[in-house]
């Protein structure tokens, strides 16, 4: 495989680069380094089959040039994290809409199969007991900044499907459900790295609202190998596929779990949503994936338990070193 990974210096993108290189593929990471970092790719520095190109997916000519020389595109670049979306709505919209258009159009022009990363955010406030891929989207008003992200990602999916259908090229859309792991930054909002940072610094752990909202966290080490496998599975082509974990937990309990696993003396404080994200923010009470389709298509079965996921993040943050490669090589 000669693969382009857009957003390759980001959290999931950099793990995907590791994974593809470990399997003998050639990889170019395209990243504008806005939320990605060189540290995430340190371990691939100087590798003969790896290259980092610094540039934006909004640069049409650059995207075209990079994609032209490759047969597979993993489009991971996006504006990520609730704080990014709320603080920079226009920039986020541009990156997510036009960036995806540029990447998919270039893939189609150059006959490259492609995968577009989408998100469980598109289901909005649907709190079903296991969201299947055809579940309804229950979105709040687009005037509320959070939902503009879901709107843009929904259109990204359409761009991917429609071009996939027209061109006949293999394409896959993956919907990630709260994927966490080493290298994820807490800076843009994500709750697990934030709680771990707070616990390790001995600072209060900030639970938003009453902490009864529930999520199901998935490991990056489970989802990364699934991406290439989906692209290689004809029955998965031109479909959206949920990828995530199995264990549901309330955010209040997550805070307690982080306290226990870090052994911190930090206390837990409750912060109102308006204080955390500003006026008019809406959260979803619950988000739980049904990953049955991925199981049917590729035998997807998450291996990482929540305690192990959190422990890997704690170890990474304590050591300040790249995550254990054995985790990737074993999968
Ligand atoms: N959250 C929290 N404290 C934080 C950051 C997030 O309680 O410091 C909450 C957030 O309000 C949400 C949940 O944790 O209810 C998951 O947030 P995240 O941004 O990680 O993912 P998403 O909201 O997209 O599921």
pLDDT digits (tens, 9 = 90+) for 200-220: 999 999 999 999 999 999 999
What's residue 325's pLDDT? 45
Per-residue pLDDT of the chain (331 residues; tens, 9 = 90+): 999 999 999 999 999 999 999 999 999 999 999 999 999 999 999 999 999 999 999 999 999 999 999 999 999 999 888 788 788 888 888 999 999 999 999 999 999 999 999 999 999 999 999 999 999 999 988 778 788 888 999 999 999 999 999 999 999 999 999 999 999 999 888 999 999 999 999 999 999 999 999 999 999 999 999 999 999 999 999 999 999 999 999 999 999 999 999 999 999 999 999 999 888 788 999 999 999 999 999 999 999 999 999 999 999 999 875 544 444 443 3
- Neighbouring CB atoms inside 10 A of 143's CB total 8
Task: Kindly state the percentage of the chain with pLDDT values over 70.
Answer: 97
Nearest-angstrom CA–CA distance, 226 and 179 = 13
CB 86 within 8 A of CB 126: no
Q: What atom in ligand 1 is closest to the CA of residue 180?
A: 20
Which CATH class, in words, describes the domain spanning 2-329? alpha beta
CA-based diameter of the chain, in Å? 57
The residue whose CB lies within 8 Å of the most ligand 1 atoms, and thus the one to mutate among 197, 251, 288, 306, is 251
17 burial via Cβ count (<10 Å: 0-12, 13-18, 19+): buried
Q: How many CB atoms lie within 10 A of CB 81?
A: 20
Give the list of residues 6+ apart from residue 139 with CB closer than 8 angstroms, or none. Answer: 124, 125, 147, 150, 151
Q: Is the CB of 146 under 6 A from ligand 1?
A: no
Which atom of ligand 1 lies at the shortest distance from residue 283's CA?
A: 15
Model confidence pLDDT, tens digit, residues 98-129: 999 999 999 999 999 999 999 999 999 999 99
């Amino acid at each position: 495989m000669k693969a382009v990974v857009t957003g390759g210096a980001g959290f999931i993108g950099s793990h995907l680069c590791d994974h593809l290189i470990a399997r003998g593929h050639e990889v170019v990471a395209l990243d504008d380094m806005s939320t990605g970092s060189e540290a995430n790719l340190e371990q691939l520095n100087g590798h003969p089959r790896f290259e980092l190109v610094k540039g934006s997916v909004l640069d049409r000519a650059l995207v075209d040039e990079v994609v032209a020389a490759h047969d597979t595109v993993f489009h991971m670049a996006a504006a990520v994290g609730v704080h990014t979306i709320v603080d920079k709505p226009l920039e986020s919209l541009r990156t997510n809409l036009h960036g995806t258009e540029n990447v998919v159009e270039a893939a189609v022009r150059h006959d490259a199969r492609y995968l577009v990363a989408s998100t469980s955010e598109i289901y909005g406030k649907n709190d079903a007991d296991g969201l299947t891929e055809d579940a309804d989207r229950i979105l709040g008003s687009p005037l509320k900044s959070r939902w503009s992200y879901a709107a843009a990602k929904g259109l990204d999916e359409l761009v991917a499907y429609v071009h996939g259908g027209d061109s006949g090229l293999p394409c896959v859309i993956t919907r990630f459900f709260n994927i966490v792991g080493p290298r994820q930054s807490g800076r843009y909002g994500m709750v697990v790295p934030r709680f771990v940072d707070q616990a390790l610094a001995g600072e209060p752990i900030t639970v938003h609202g009453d902490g009864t909202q529930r999520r199901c966290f998935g490991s990056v080490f489970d989802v990364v190998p699934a991406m290439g496998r989906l692209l290689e599975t004809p029955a998965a082509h031109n479909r959206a596929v949920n990828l995530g974990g199995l264990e549901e937990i309330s955010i209040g309990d997550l805070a307690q779990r982080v306290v226990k696993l870090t052994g911190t003396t930090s206390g837990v404080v409750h912060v109102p949503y308006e204080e955390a994200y500003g006026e008019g923010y809406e959260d979803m009470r619950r988000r739980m994936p049904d990953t049955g389709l991925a199981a049917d298509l590729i035998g997807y079965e998450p291996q990482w338990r929540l305690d192990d996921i959190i422990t890997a993040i704690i170890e990474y943050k304590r050591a300040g070193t790249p995550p254990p490669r054995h985790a990737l090589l074993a999968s």
